[in-house]
Structure 1
């Protein structure tokens, strides 16, 4: 995961993914303080356990979805 983090960090900021999940290795989550508290100066938070990585992804998606539901977004409007 460290070598993947390094490769992602070398990309232009606009091209860096917010989340990178490898179900066999773990997850990298952009260290911006949006989903998780800022931690150190590394560009990504790294979790090297696949099960923890999947759990973190599901929690992140639930957090995002919950915030969008609270804002009363009408998803059906995007289907037309």
Structure 2
């Protein structure tokens, strides 16, 4: 069996979709934090958003790398 070639052509789009979804989830969590009286739930949501922010940093770094790779590939 021959391995599939590395197809990075849609990586930037895929990562951008993930970034958009993560930001949307953060907004939804913020809305829930503002409306729920449950302090434990607020804390859980705040912690999730902190992890999401860290993930966003990684995804933004990755998207820059992929965009650079795409640019270098077309040259």
The structure with more helix, counted as a fraction of residues: 2
After TM superposition, is the score higher than 0.5? Answer: no
After TM superposition, the score normalised by the length of structure 1 is 0.32
Max radius of gyration: which structure?
Answer: 2
The structure with more strand, counted as a fraction of residues: 1
After TM superposition, the score normalised by the length of structure 2 is 0.34
